[in-house]
A and B are shown apart, each in its own frame.
Chain A
Amino acid sequence: MTWRPRARALWLVVALTAALAIATLVFALFEVQNGLVVAGLCLVALIASSLRSVHTQRQIELVSVVLVAVYVIAGPAAAVIVAAVASLIQAPAPKIKLIFNSAQRVLSAAGAAVAYAALDGPVGTEVFDRVPDALIATTAASIVLQMVNALLVSMVLILERGPGGVGEFFRHVVRTTAIPVLGYGLLGLSMAVVWLGGLNIFAGVLILGPLVLARWALSQYEAEKTAQAATMRAFIQVIETKDLYTRGHSERVSEGVGMLGRQLQLSDERQSALEHAGLLHDVGKVGVPTSIIRKPGRLDDAEMDAIRLHPARGVELIGNIPFLEEVKSAVLHHHEKYDGTGYPAGLAGKNIPYFARIIGIVDAFDCLTSTRSYRPAREVDETLAILVQDRYTHFDPELVDAFVQVIRAKGWKAAVDQPAPDGNVQANVDHDDLSLGSGGGASGSAAGPIA
């Protein structure tokens, strides 16, 4: 299913949102008193919104913390103005996005302002005597701010990307930021307290310190993750230089298990663990002599044994990396078969670790859709049919069904830039290949005639 963006409806919605935001802003401008304080708060908010970090996507919204302080220091109407001023600084984006973002922030702040006023949140120094009220009102304001924000963004996402985009947005953005925003909102309240306690605009400096530190930690986290992924990929590429035909195999498997994992709705943590496992499943090949991997023709038993060792070698190699235990068991068991005839342990059925069953499917799939020295690449549809036929013998049937569904829906980018099959080579050596009658591969319907 593809979704065509509704460009005209999108513009209409954005224009309406902007008009509403401007009206709110004008109303707030008449309501607000004490211009000097508001100007100071605007300055703090501007600084906050200019402190953008490069790495993090899910950042703690510094501005929303400042807004919490504004409700308490200068009242709800001021917050609308501060939100509008803060939205003047935004990351570069298409004009429609900039307009919508500004409008959406003003309206979110306005919604929160209404909530704050409705709960009779304290404004000014009365906060010192009404701390519980302030706590309740600011928390409610934060929640409303997020809700209005989520609502407006979902509306646009539906028009732009279809209903699927909204689910993604809620899963990955709203759910992960809700608690941090509420937690850091408390810091906004303490900023208000220090501001009113006599420190005035310097309170802004005081509050931004810890927030910037938190952001720094988050961005470092993202940077480490990126570095980790890049380093593992580079490393895998080296190992794959041993065999021209398997180039890119691990990355494609990682991609494929990623698609399947999303279909199965794994948690974020397990999803990334699965992708790691997919990337690393053949890492133990580094311990298999290159002469065996590249050998044209059938392998003898000793050579086959050397190949069968690679899952264990892989676990030995990655054993010290603090991955989830599932990653290691997946690497160790990705050559088990559903009927119990695989290696190294001969596990059968659901005894094979979940991730290993997933990787086994994608591994075979990528092998069959790639060129080998002894045969050309197979078509995707043909390969999916082979997988379906081998349910129960090789693969977990439910997972095969899910995989077939996902590939049908999203397509598959098969290997490119491979050397042409070598006409002189008579038998294969790829241990992943289902079309192998015995030895490293499987026996089954895929063991068709070798072209």
Chain B
Amino acid sequence: MNESSQSYQVRVSGSGVAIVLAAATLGLAALILTIERGLTGWSFAITFGVLIAVGEMVQFRVDRSRNRAPIATSAALGYAMLRGPEVGVPPDVAQVVAVVAIATIAGLVPRVVAGLRWEVVISARRVLSVAAATAAFSAVIPNDMEWDGTWSHALPLTAAMFLAVLTAGISDALVGAGQATEAFNRPFPAALRDELVVLARIGLGMGISGVLLASCTSLLGLWAPPLIIVPLLLTQFAFRRFASAQRTYRATVRSMARSTEIAGFSSPGQNARTAQLAIAIGNDLGLTPARMEALEYAALLSGVGQLALADPSPGGASLLRNREERQQAAEIGASIIERSGVLDHVAEIVRHSNDPYRQGRANNSDIPVESGIVNVALAYEQLVGEGGGQSAGKAMESIGLGIGAEYDPVVVESLRRVVGRGFRF
């Protein structure tokens, strides 16, 4: 099992329970209301319900954050924004929420049965954000406003759809940022910034697809969904390939890191533990996802320079006897990593990962803070990890002695917080 992907999973959390409960309550209320009033537009409800369920079934994971079901999201948003002339009586807010909720459950059940990854919190978040979008859209656009082929109708309709999509996106970003803060102790502004970046990239694509789906269905009726869904499936296929190439690449870097263990330069799991701690500190400091990725790779690969040294030092990296040797190994490692041509930032981090703070970052702001993080993570791992076996308190004490001279004070403060929250390897 790879540690880092685990640490990125949303754990069962207080907010998660609250989100699921809220979605369930909302869905149930909407269902009761819909049953009371009666369902309008059966064919549309069933078609979009099936689309949402199928989209939910074929969800996948990209950029290691969480599962995504873009087709389900687009379909749900599309259903929320239907109007005439083809849709006789557009679904009201309650009906949209009810259909989305039921379809979501219908799509999740097969995944659960098949033993695939499923995240009920993420699905619940979709129900909530689509409810927000529906509310926004129907607040702006009256039920009887139709697509009649004129500017004066098309433009306000489209503007309102974008407003609704943005409402959904931003509300989901807020919830997502809150969850990231809770799960990984990321500072809220940093977490929100990351969510908004994803929103601008993937979220907007899903939103626009939803807008297209809604407008085309309003104009063409049920001929429209295939026109949008087939290209969406192709896009999703492209994303899956991207995601799988990404997984392969990450696993390759991890394997490279493990080669120092197989060669006898470091103890089993040492690199993974160092990376795990570096990630926790990086989260605490609110680094961007791109920098987090480089940090993880740098922590994993920090020992790779030893491969070029003639003979292993038995027992792991700690036995590189002096600073010169360690810095030399770091320099070699950096040049190895640089040779790949695609990991320059990682190489830079590794190059300075054994520089003492006083001679390094204190006077040279070009050296990335990530180097200081890797330096501290290496030190802490050697004290507390399998080789060291010290208690967290004692390790903090001896690292504290090196504050400002050996270690970056900002990083040590962050380590103190991370350890204080009960970090374990």
B251 near A320: Cβ-Cβ < 8 Å = yes
Q: Given A220-B242, A228-B248: A183 and B342 within 8 A (CB)? A: no
A12 at the binding interface (Cβ < 8 Å): no
A202 near B158: Cβ-Cβ < 8 Å = yes
State which residues 110-126 of A face B: CB under 8 Å.
125
Q: Which residues of chain A have C-beta atoms less than 8 A from B351's C-beta?
A: none
A321 near B255: Cβ-Cβ < 8 Å = yes
A210 near B304: Cβ-Cβ < 8 Å = no
A198 near B148: Cβ-Cβ < 8 Å = yes
B105 at the binding interface (Cβ < 8 Å): no
Q: Which residues of chain B have C-beta atoms less than 8 A from A238's C-beta?
A: 304, 307-308, 336
Closest-by-CB residue of A relative to B209 is A210
Stretch in B128-136, B172-180, B212-220, B362-370 with 4+ CB within 8 Å of A: B212-220
A52 at the binding interface (Cβ < 8 Å): no
The total number of A-B Cβ pairs within 8 Å is: 187
B238 at the binding interface (Cβ < 8 Å): yes
A193 near B216: Cβ-Cβ < 8 Å = yes
Nearest CB on B from A102, distance (A): 27
Chief secondary structure at chain B's binding surface:
helix
B339 near A318: Cβ-Cβ < 8 Å = no
A27 at the binding interface (Cβ < 8 Å): no
Q: Which residues of chain A have C-beta atoms less than 8 A from B204's C-beta?
A: 209, 213
Q: Given A196-B149, A230-B342: A184 and B234 within 8 A (CB)? A: yes
Q: Which residues of chain A have C-beta atoms less than 8 A from B223's C-beta?
A: 131-132, 135
State which residues 300-351 of B face A: CB under 8 Å.
304, 307-308, 310-312, 336-337, 339-343
Residue from B2, B153, B158, B249 in contact with A227 in the complex, judged by beta carbons closer than 8 Å: B249
State which residues 197-237 of A face B: CB under 8 Å.
197-200, 202, 206-207, 209-210, 212-214, 216-218, 220-221, 224-228, 230-235, 237
A184 near B219: Cβ-Cβ < 8 Å = no
Instruction: Report the contact-size class of chain A (Cβ under 8 Å from the partner).
Output: 35 or more
A43 at the binding interface (Cβ < 8 Å): no
CA distance A291 to B254 in the complex (A): 26
Residue among A128, A202, A234, A237 with max Cβ neighbours from chain B (10 Å): A234
B258 near A323: Cβ-Cβ < 8 Å = no
CA distance A76 to B308 in the complex (A): 65
Residue from A189, A200, A283, A290 in contact with B151 in the complex, judged by beta carbons closer than 8 Å: A200
CA distance A320 to B208 in the complex (A): 37
A19 at the binding interface (Cβ < 8 Å): no
Question: CB-defined interface of A293-334 with B at 8 Å, one 1/0 digit per residue?
Answer: 000000000000000000001001111111100000000000
CA distance A206 to B78 in the complex (A): 14
Task: Give me 22 A-to-B residue pairs in the complex whose CB atoms sit less than 8 angstroms apart, sorted by A's number.
Answer: A125-B149, A131-B223, A183-B234, A190-B216, A197-B147, A197-B219, A198-B148, A206-B158, A206-B215, A210-B212, A217-B238, A217-B241, A220-B246, A224-B245, A224-B248, A230-B340, A230-B341, A231-B249, A231-B256, A231-B343, A284-B262, A291-B311
- List the 9 shortest-distance A-B pairs measured between CB atoms, nearest first: A198-B154, A213-B205, A234-B340, A224-B245, A209-B208, A217-B238, A214-B235, A221-B242, A234-B339
| Given A184-B234, A291-B311, 16 further pairs, Cβ under 8 A | A186-B226, A193-B216, A197-B218, A197-B219, A198-B150, A198-B154, A209-B205, A210-B209, A213-B204, A224-B249, A226-B342, A230-B342, A286-B259, A287-B264, A317-B255, A321-B252
